[in-house]
Amino acid sequence: NAGVMQNPRHLVRRRGQEARLRCSPMKGHSHVYWYRQLPEEGLKFMVYLQKENIIDESGMPKERFSAEFPKEGPSILRIQQVVRGDSAAYFCASSPDGGYGYTFGSGTRLTVV
């Protein structure tokens, strides 16, 4: 039973480009969460999704960031027109029932140059 799979592990983008981060939850998990960890900081909640629905996006920046979790395929976190301040580690987690028992992926480290 594979864990939460995130890809790519490392992503380098130039300022102004788009970044797409993918997350495949654990088998049987239909709840996905995205967190961001800026350097020297803890993880900050961004968005909580179930299949085809955004449940809570209170942690998402209002512009340039979007997330989806389609019926088929992985969850996608999309960052348009990236800026240097978007450089961070982005972690995805999943759970079977929306409870606190998250399983985290290994993260995607985004570097904006």
Partner 1 sequence: DQQVKQNSPSLSVQEGRISILNCDYTNSMFDYFLWYKKYPAEGPTFLISISSIKDKNEDGRFTVFLNKSAKHLSLHIVPSQPGDSAVYFCAARAGANNLFFGTGTRLTVIP
Q: Which residues bind partner 1 (CB under 8 A)?
A: 4, 6, 31, 33, 35, 40-45, 48, 55-56, 58-59, 91, 93, 98, 100-107
| d(C-alpha 45, C-alpha 93), whole Å | 11
> In this structure, are residues 65 and 46 in contact, taking their beta carbons and an 8 Å threshold?
yes
Whether the CA torsion 20, 32, 7, 61 is positive or negative: it is: positive
CB-wise, 66 or 106, nearer to partner 1? 106
Shortest distance in whole angstroms from residue 81 CB to partner 1: 26
Read off the amino acid at residue 22.
R
For residue 46, the Cα-to-chain-centroid distance in whole angstroms is: 8
CB-wise, 33 or 112, nearer to partner 1? 33
Shortest distance in whole angstroms from residue 91 CB to partner 1: 5
Shortest distance in whole angstroms from residue 104 CB to partner 1: 3
